[in-house]
Structure 1
Amino acid sequence: MLYPSIDKLTAQVESKYTLVTIASKRARQIRENSALQVEKPKSKKFVGQALEELIGDHLVHDVTDSRK
């Protein structure tokens, strides 16, 4: 079973596409030696660590409407 679950993650953001964008940007930051915001991550991969930060409310994303 995957942790964190996709159901819990999509409750945090409005769509799966936004989830992918947020996780990929944060994973790049972690890979480039940014400080990890989770003390003991379960995942060893950067994307998994980014998702753990999101589910633990360590990441804040700004919702803006780019269609204007």
Structure 2
Amino acid sequence: MMLYPSIMKLMEKTGSRYSLVIATAKRAREIEAAAQETKNVDGARSISKAATEIADGTVVVFDADDADSADEVFED
């Protein structure tokens, strides 16, 4: 059972449970792939790392309707 980050904090960052699940799963797969390439396994679960990154703001989740605003953020 995950105590941190709380589901409420994660929901504030994503807006919906669906977006939260999709974003966390995508990021966890990226973390897992990077760990396999570098053979760097530190013991922490990739899903926990992904959730923590979303909660901390390291990973930003954009709604598909806000794709134009996401492009503006990455252009700056």
TM range (shorter): 0.7 to 0.9
Structure 2: stretches of 5+ with no match in the other structure: 36-42, 66-76
Partner of 2:14: 13
Give the distance between the partners of 1:62 and 1:18, measured in 2 at CA.
9
Q: Map Cα deviations across residues 5-49 of structure 1 (whole Å, 9 max, x no partner).
A: 001111111111110000000000000016xxxxxxxx8110000
Gaps of 5+ in 1: 35-42
Quick check: which has more Rg, 1 or 2? Answer: 2
Q: What's the C-alpha RMSD, in Å, of the aligned pairs?
A: 1.8
Q: Distance in 1 between matches of 2:64 and 2:23?
A: 13
Q: Take 1:3 and 1:62, find their aligned partners in 2: how far apart are those partners? A: 22
TM-score by length of 2: 0.67
Bigger helix share: 2
Please tell me the residue identity of whatever aligns with 1:51. A
* 1:58 alignment partner, SS class: coil
User: Which residue in 1 is equivalent to 2:74?
Assistant: none
User: Are residue 63 (structure 1) and residue 68 (structure 2) matched?
Assistant: no
Stretches of 4+ aligned residues off by more than 6 angstroms: none
Q: Percent identity?
A: 37
Greater mean deviation of Cα atoms: 56-65 or 19-28: 56-65
Alignment partner of 1:31 is 2:41: no
